[in-house]
Structure 1
């Protein structure tokens, strides 16, 4: 087991003008050996940065430690070779796509274990054990790019389990998994801690379900200048307060057949490889409504959004504005419908935030609406004063807020959202929801939102659709 100690640590990224930009300042904390630690704090406070420092990724690949030290088992992290470090600590990223290097699940596992210089004969049984432990043996031969966001996170965790490192770091590991999978993975992490004495440090905004698993709760303040370990009583109170803050069971209205259609499906069949994801006779998403689309991981929600956005082949009919999707000219189509990708970085085309916003302004169909409102919107999302920041150096939550803002600015009549609340703390999520609702109303937009994050969004939603067993149905309740 490895003891992780942070001693008066300060860290800064390098800005575009080559000046250091402080992210963490004078942090000190010892993470208990063999403990399950939950690290929480506002979006952009520096939680992901701290985990990457512990993993040895920073400052090797970005930024600079300007003061203090970080040790593993009383040894400076900088003095430990990468091979030895991988035996001591492994990290699961907030975005699993950033750590995948191979094409298939099995090849990704092989690649990770070969990098640990494991004997070839030891690799197959290690892979078998990890896949079986995470209950994803069926994914072994799947191409990673065909997996859902939740499935990718399970695979990323399987890689960590296979590496068998003493300390496991996890950054928002449940952001794209359904509630059932969240419970499963939390139980697996707890099992690793109890039975294999792993040290687990997990960063998350969503404190639900952790009460019976974690040993300690550490809070990072908003500007990355302090880490506070809560007492057991404070920890229990914080978790209880969070649970009480979650919305009660809500019900939604069912649409009437007199409403105008936005997207119509007819005889639609969606597949991924040999799997049928959707086999729908008739279905309609309605105009000027905000519809929530839910369903288990891997059921095909993101694939359906991609098909509606002209990004995935389909059989049957998808009509937008009474015209078949595949018959639309691409340029004209994307002036009518936009999609907010699950991975914010896939949306970015420029280097700085200012350049991203300028591009959205240039291409906006609602330029007059946003011209005078943009400064207030940036303040509302706490993105003001960050115009010259490199978008790829932003926190996960900041990237997500910028991505949503620039896609709202495009002003398309229909906007599809794939997991828009990933990486956002509750306050940030509410800021985004208020903005989305305001823009949808003022610009007469139609939204379809895929989200596993269900609490706190009821005021945004008009209708709820569930995808299960290859069928879409309108549902009054969230289940």
Structure 2
């Protein structure tokens, strides 16, 4: 179905090719997972399948890519639209209409399908992706995860033979991600659709893959094989594989079920031991206090009577399904939304009534969409502007970028960064001002495991220095690794609030992989297990 023959892609002014000498064959009706560190060429490989590379991205493509017998060198994306459906990292960039139902129908209208066929497929897709209640909603009012499901649905209605997806679950809560992956499996198993997807959250998808393609970004040929074989040599792998490596299991487990079947001896070795208690929060000053907060978006209530204190030195994970109100709470804390009732006190200010410059001295927000903060032409210019705006010493922002994104050139335009790299640049811009309270909305979206580890280290240092941190995230592994406290929202209300170990272990939806494998023991991370037993992590 998809064939790469000695494919090399080189962009202008790049030090090395984005892809080099790729030979690859993907048969019809398989789900193929593309993995590798950030910047290893995953998005470029996907773009070569749908024709965006090189027709829209520029650069030079050598070799040959064919999809269903069509050569992408001579077939532009519009010539492949009936065969290849694509969903990128940024759903907003994908939309061309205003409402959910119109967006689902647009692709079929472009292909001239009959009205009765379009109506039937729209209804099928609304049900498949759990979007029926949102059919008349403006796309601009949806949460990030809801927008991602609509973007996927707008492609599915065309019934393409090949689906290309770039980080399809990155903005979805665990339940919504499972729904999308179940749909993809149904397309593969029942309809013979070929699915090629790149994903950093391997804990969600690796067990469903027929093949895994590993790119290293260093110019070596890709490693292609069965998931367990590739995970044995991959530098990026999910916690359940890390646990299997540490315990010496072979073949490596890919799913919770596989690991639990082998974990009895490990549980016996851990019997009588407990994970170390998290370091106590030594400062504890209240940085923000939320009392009886109610927020509406138009006529729709989003937050309902919410009470929350955020303290210095404490890392709080804010979790809940898409649309629960997490992003709205973060926006309200920096004054983007005015409360309908209740009160917010941040450093003695009411954010919605204070000047932005006053608010930013106390609280900084890294939004889901980094382009909201990035407006310069180069990485260096963004860093220089951040230093000026925050009154920081020259080079402060660039030092943070170098730490979080090693090797990113100064002259690169922010739009040429990957989604994860743009988010990290926006984080560095906000952290340059060193606000007392740092708010992050899905900070690990698009980050590989190494980049996430660097982020965890930095946020721990900030907390130790007395900053309060609030993370709105669907990344249960991040919460397990970093958060002192976890708050779960549902329908705009707090339904759980307490120490992370207690909250996530008691929740099947938000428990990390290690907790599920070793339940009912309270272990959350591979590092905890490895340290307790003297195993290599």
TM-score by length of 1: 0.90
Residue of 426, 441, 463 corresponding to 2:485: 463
Residue 221, structure 1, aligned to residue 243, structure 2: no
Return the offset for 1:395: 2.0
Alignment of 1:414 onto 2:437: yes
Please give the root-mean-square deviation of Cα atoms over the aligned residues, in Å.
Answer: 2.8
User: Does the aligned pair in 2 maintain the 1:46–1:224 contact within 8 Å?
Assistant: no
- The structural deviation recorded for 1:20 is 8.0
8 A contact 2:200–2:446 mirrored in 1: yes
Matched, 1:398 2:398: no
CA shift for structure 1 position 418: 0.3
Aligned-partner Cα distance in 1 for 2:200–2:90: 15
Query: For structure 1, which segment, 241-250 or 193-202, has the greater mean C-alpha deviation from structure 2 after superposition?
Result: 241-250
1:303 has 2:301 as partner: no
The whole-number CA distance in structure 2 between the counterparts of 1:246 and 1:95 is 32
Does the 8 Å CA contact 2:18/2:217 hold for their aligned counterparts?
A: no
Deviation at 1:179, TM superposition (A): 1.3
| Alignment match of 1:449 (pick from 448, 471, 484) | 471
Query: Which 5+ residue runs of structure 2 have no aligned equivalent?
Result: 245-266, 268-273, 508-537
Counterpart contact for 1:103–1:144, Cα < 8 Å? yes
TM-score scaled to structure 2, two decimals?
Answer: 0.81
Q: What is the SS of the residue equivalent to 1:208?
A: helix
Residue pairs, 1:53-132, within 5 angstroms: 53-80=48-75, 82-132=77-127
Further displaced range: 208-217 or 98-107: 208-217
Q: CA deviation at 1:241?
A: 6.7
Residue 34 of structure 1 deviates from its aligned partner by: 1.1
Correspondence list, 1:257-272, <5 A: 259-272=284-297
Matched, 1:285 2:310: yes
Deviation at 1:250, TM superposition (A): 8.0
Q: Does 1:349 align with 2:346?
A: no
Contact 1:299–1:468 (CA<8 Å) still a contact in 2? Answer: yes
Distance in 1 of aligned mates of 2:362 and 2:59? 44
Q: Name the CA shift for 1:392/1:156 in 2 (closer, same or farther; >3 Å).
A: same
Deviates more, 1:311-320 or 1:141-150: 311-320
Q: Which moved further from structure 2: 465-474 or 122-131?
A: 465-474
CA distance, structure 2, for counterparts of residue 435 and residue 153 of structure 1: 29
Change (3 A) 1:246 1:332: farther
Which structure would you say has the larger RCO, counting Cα contacts within 8 Å and 6 or more residues apart? Answer: 1
1:326–1:75: structure 2 CA closer, same or farther, 3 Å change rule? Answer: closer
How far apart in 2 are the matches of 1:474 and 1:114?
Answer: 47
Q: Equivalent residue of 2:4, what SS?
A: strand
CA shift, 1:325, in A, is 2.0
CA distance, structure 2, for counterparts of residue 232 and residue 323 of structure 1: 52
- Picking from 32, 36, 42, the partner of 1:41 is 36
| Matches of 1:107 and 1:185, distance apart in 2 | 20
Deviation of 1:286 after TM superposition, in Å, equals 1.8
How far is the alpha carbon of 1:323 from its aligned partner?
2.4
**Which residue of the partner structure matches residue 181 of structure 1?**
176
1:425 aligns with 448
Question: How far 1:282 moved relative to its partner?
Answer: 3.3
1:12 Cα deviation (Å)? 2.3
- The Cα of 1:467 is off from its aligned counterpart by 1.1
Q: Equivalent residue of 2:295, what SS?
A: strand
Count of aligned residue pairs for this structure pair: 470
1:354 to 1:188, Cα distance in 2 relative to 1, 3 A: same
Cα distance per residue 1:89-112 (max 9 Å; x no partner): 011111211211221111212322
**Residue 6 (structure 1) aligns with:** 4
Supply the distance in 2 between the matched residues of 1:273 and 1:246 (Cα, whole angstroms). 47
- Give the equivalent residue in structure 1 for 2:242: 245
CA–CA distance in structure 1, aligned partners of residues 36 and 232 of structure 2: 16
Alignment partners' CA distance in 1, 2:401 and 2:338: 37
Give the Cα–Cα distance (whole angstroms) in 1 for the partners of residues 23 and 172 of structure 2: 32
Distance in 2 between the 1:44 and 1:325 partners? 38
